[in-house]
Amino acid sequence: MTSDFPRPVFRPSGTFDRLFASEDPAEVSRAAHQTAATLLARVRAEEDPEVVDRLIRFASTHGIDDIAQLWSRSPAKTLPGTLWRLYLVQASIHADAALAALLYERGRAALHTGDAIIAGAPTPVSPPELVALIDTILRGAFTGDLAIALDRTAAFCRVEASGATHLADDAEATEPERATTLTTRALRLSSIADDLDVAARLWRRDELI
């Protein structure tokens, strides 16, 4: 790497390094993949609960921008792109847990699939319980089976997407702008769910890099 683009190093006691001083796509991609792989390997090797706790709280403490700086440009079906999506889902719930719980409950009631069981939220779910759920899933991504964490997050996103779709339908006649916002959210959640499903399959084949 060039001298103005240092090798990425994860420092658990600080914040993520701001890595993308260079705009060279190859260097950006290389840094994203290296940080994602190094982070996951180091956390699993150290098994330090304090390090894991700091990772779980990172987006809520520092905001999502530092994580975006690392991984948001990576394709969906890569390790950095996958970790970005996990943090993005977590950040959306922390930002408005009440809305997330409303969407989840509406989606759970409407869906006739096993997604709510896979996601693992209590029934009914409160906003604090939903925050605890996504934090637990993210913890599992770092310390347990990543594929299972991805399966659970994908299922969660499908439940939320269903809830957003049904609430959008309810609001269409009287609150068209809110309906549009909810429809957009549903589409994004569905897209993330699809990406995470693929990522889980790739991880199980040792092909998520």
Q: How far is CA 141 from CA 24, 52, 122, in A?
A: 30, 10, 20
Identify whether 109 is part of a domain: yes
**Domain interval for residue 77:** 25-204
Identify whether 19 is part of a domain: no
Query: Which residue, 197, 171, 199, 174, is CA-closest to 185?
Result: 171
Q: pLDDT confidence of 63, banded at 50, 70, 90? A: confident
Q: Is the dihedral of CA 163, 90, 46, 79 positive or negative?
A: positive
Q: Is the dihedral of CA 193, 109, 101, 115 positive or negative?
A: negative
Identify whether 59 is part of a domain: yes
Identify whether 5 is part of a domain: no
Average pLDDT over residues 32-51: 88
Identify whether 4 is part of a domain: no
Average pLDDT over residues 151-167: 98
Q: Is the dihedral of CA 159, 101, 74, 154 positive or negative?
A: negative
Q: For the chain, how many structural domains are there in total? A: 1
Q: Which pLDDT belongs to residue 85?
A: 96
Q: Which pLDDT belongs to residue 23?
A: 62
Calpha distance 65→193 (Å, rounded): 22
Identify whether 54 is part of a domain: yes
- The model's pTM is 0.86
Q: pLDDT confidence of 37, banded at 50, 70, 90? A: very high
Which ranges in 57-96 belong to alpha helices (H)?
Answer: 58-62, 65-71, 79-95
Identify whether 96 is part of a domain: yes
Identify whether 11 is part of a domain: no
